[in-house]
Structure 1
Amino acid sequence: MFEFLYLEVLYLLIIPFIFIFLVRKSRRLKAIFSKEVMKEIYIKKSGFSKRLRAYILIFSLIFGIISLARPVMQNGEIKIKQSYINAVIALDISNSMRVDDLFPNRFEFAKNKIYSFFDNAMDKRLGVVGFSNEAFMISPLTSDFSSLKYLISNLNFSNLNLQGTDIYSLLRSVDTLFKDEKNKILVLFSDGGDNEEFSKEIKFAKENKISVFIYLTATNKGGLFKAPNNDVVLLKANQNIKDLALKTGGAYMQSSLNNDDMKALNSLISSKFKNNETKDEMIKDQKELFYYPLCLSMVLFFMANFSLPFRRKA
């Protein structure tokens, strides 16, 4: 069955028909416009007369509008199986993420790495959670990564003033979000907080089948941080958090400037887990026809503008 996907675009066809009316009533143009304007409107004599050239351009416009309306030939619907790996991205938004041992600081560095993670997560649906001393949802599971990038790009410390890094609170939130999932995957971007050990978090993650993948956004050298009491302290990467990843079936990665680390992390997650959600989706089997009127429009346009002039007898 033939149809237009953007039927409303065809309303633009009123424009070329207005031009046709004006060409047929060309004498009225002279009454409307000055001689100087008429020189700009009309094309100098060449292979086609002014009127014929105008009609060719009008039909070029008509076919161009038809192509924009996207004509297609519908051949029914096809059932396909769409599979996803569901995972939650957790971004540490505590004050320690202000430290600038990573450029421009830990927080912005983590955001840029998350953007890169999205670019390599074509087989996944991702949710995003922000956390410090408590966790809050930024987005539920979705494959609309452009929207996720927009939401994360608007997170900044001017509207966030949170202290502490409570991983346990985060794990509880992830468990609630994934309560019906067989595999619960958490990808954590954090400097590790200041916990000396994570036995409580490890126990909870194991009991609730949460696999934690950690990308440590801090350096072993660390950076200076001004505490709320105005003391200046040196904050380094908390390597103790590595146990949380390794003992829950996840993985641990140290921050790096390597652009392929997020690709490697995505591949690692994909290899560890089979797609944990499969849906039957109906898609339309359609043949695109827009290029036919588009090609015709271009041919007519070039005919009107680059036709060869007639030779005049001496």
Structure 2
Amino acid sequence: MFRFENPEYLWLLVAVAVLALIRFVTYFNQKKRLRKFGDPKLMKQLMPDVSRWRPLVKFCLLELALVLVILMLARPQQANGISQEKRSGIETVIALDISNSMRAEDVAPTRLDRAKMMVENLVESFVNDKIGLIVFAGDAFVQLPITSDYVSAKMFLSTIDPSMIVNQGTDIAGAIEMASHSFTQQEHVGKAIIVITDGEDHEGNAVEAAKAAHEQGFNVYVLGIGSTNGAPVPDPDTGNYMIDNQGNTVMSCLNEDMCREVAQAGGGAYIHVDNNSSAQRLLDEELDKLEKGETTIYSDYAEQFQYAAAFALLLLIIEICILDRRNPILKKIKLFKR
């Protein structure tokens, strides 16, 4: 198995393309300026030592060397050995509602903070399982692709806040559809979508999305967080509670009926989250029922950057040896002539 230990550095490859574009534009600007001095054929006779291809070859060598340096920074690694230890686990994608209504304080300290604590406890109970994280309000996006890196999962979880999504609302259907495309292709492993929400679905089609996900082999669980009596929603900008257009305090209520319908359509279970710990226990029991799939563990990786380093150094030496102008000694050979 081949991997990059620091794949984030691969984004620097964009700079290679930008430099190539700049070189392309500069080259044609130079040709345009030369035409202003006179006929191109006459100019070529006046500059017999100017090479057309050498600067381009030197630039391509530098570009390729830069690519190799970027690959070095990304630390390419090759798996040396495969552990014979059999490990089994499930795949879980958490879809976390971060709409403004999740700021309500009917569950201490807030609905969102309580949900984040539950996810963190779930991560701590995982051993060989994989977890992904999606946040949603009026829109949904992947906060963490499915992974077994629990440290990263906790780090991304701590940064979640309703301000991350400008388009407010609660599009549960969109979150479920996105979660359905977030799993690996591994077969014979239990795959769960856990939707944590207060159930204020303003977009609709959540039940249909859960049914479609279940038909694809995923179990959809819904954690309904909050109280059915409702609670005011704090406004982080003013410090007061949110009000509607008529000046009334906005009350957010848990929609348990919708949550149950989504869970039933998704082949999972509905769990009410309040201020006690029973919801965490019930969720663990439900996930324990899922099929555990065996995974291959690559235990030892060898660094491969030295090959890129050697080739990059060779390219730089060749680039230095090639002159911008034609070499008087090798002029008769004309290596760069068509």
TM-score (norm 1): 0.59
Matched, 1:143 2:148: yes
Q: Structure 1's 109 and 208: CA in aligned 2 closer, same or farther, altered over 3 A?
A: same
Instruction: Return the structure number with greater relative CO, CA threshold 8 A, min gap 6.
Output: 1
Q: Deviations over 1:209-235 (max 9, x none)?
A: 331111111111210232564542221
Contact 1:80 1:282 in 2 (8 A): no
Equivalent residue, structure 2, for 1:132: 137
Measure how far apart 1:190 and its partner are: 0.7
Q: Structure 1's 231 and 179: CA in aligned 2 closer, same or farther, altered over 3 A?
A: farther
Measure how far apart 1:178 and its partner are: 2.5
C-alpha distance in 1 between matches for 2:103 and 2:91: 29
Percent identity (aligned): 28
Q: Structure 1's 227 and 167: CA in aligned 2 closer, same or farther, altered over 3 A?
A: farther
Measure how far apart 1:257 and its partner are: 2.6
Q: Deviations over 1:173-212 (max 9, x none)?
A: 1122127355541011110124588442343223333311
Equivalent residue, structure 1, for 2:271: 253
Letter in 2 for 1:238: N
Equivalent residue, structure 1, for 2:228: 220
Matched, 1:193 2:210: no
Q: Structure 1's 122 and 78: CA in aligned 2 closer, same or farther, altered over 3 A?
A: closer
C-alpha distance in 1 between matches for 2:83 and 2:165: 47
Q: Deviations over 1:67-114 (max 9, x none)?
A: xxxxxxxxx985212222011011101111112211222111111111
C-alpha distance in 1 between matches for 2:263 and 2:286: 13
C-alpha distance in 1 between matches for 2:170 and 2:260: 15
Q: Structure 1's 157 and 247: CA in aligned 2 closer, same or farther, altered over 3 A?
A: closer
Greater mean alpha carbon deviation, residues 261-270 or residues 195-204:
195-204
Letter in 2 for 1:209: G
Contact 2:97 2:137 in 1 (8 A): yes
C-alpha distance in 1 between matches for 2:141 and 2:83: 39
Mapping for residues 80-95 of structure 1, pairs under 5 Å: 80-95=85-100
Contact 1:117 1:263 in 2 (8 A): no
TM-score (norm 2): 0.55
Q: 1:234 aligns with which of 251, 259, 264?
A: 251
Measure how far apart 1:164 and its partner are: 0.8
Contact 1:94 1:161 in 2 (8 A): no
Measure how far apart 1:262 and its partner are: 1.9
Equivalent residue, structure 1, for 2:114: 109
Contact 2:171 2:201 in 1 (8 A): no
Contact 2:193 2:219 in 1 (8 A): yes
In our comparison, the structure showing a higher alpha carbon Rg is: 1
C-alpha distance in 2 between matches for 1:202 and 1:84: 23
CA RMSD of aligned residues (A): 2.7
Structure 2: tracts of 5 or more residues without a match: 1-80, 234-241, 302-338
Matched residue of 1:139: which SS? strand
Letter in 2 for 1:187: I
Letter in 2 for 1:113: M
C-alpha distance in 2 between matches for 1:111 and 1:147: 14
Letter in 2 for 1:236: C
Equivalent residue, structure 1, for 2:218: 210
Q: Structure 1's 276 and 133: CA in aligned 2 closer, same or farther, altered over 3 A?
A: farther
Q: What is the total number of aligned residue pairs between the two structures?
A: 208
Q: Structure 1's 278 and 190: CA in aligned 2 closer, same or farther, altered over 3 A?
A: same
Letter in 2 for 1:235: S
Mapping for residues 4-19 of structure 1, pairs under 5 Å: none
Letter in 1 for 2:268: G
Matched residue of 1:79: which SS? strand
Matched, 1:165 2:170: yes
Measure how far apart 1:153 and its partner are: 0.9
Contact 1:120 1:263 in 2 (8 A): no
Measure how far apart 1:160 and its partner are: 4.2
C-alpha distance in 1 between matches for 2:259 and 2:244: 24
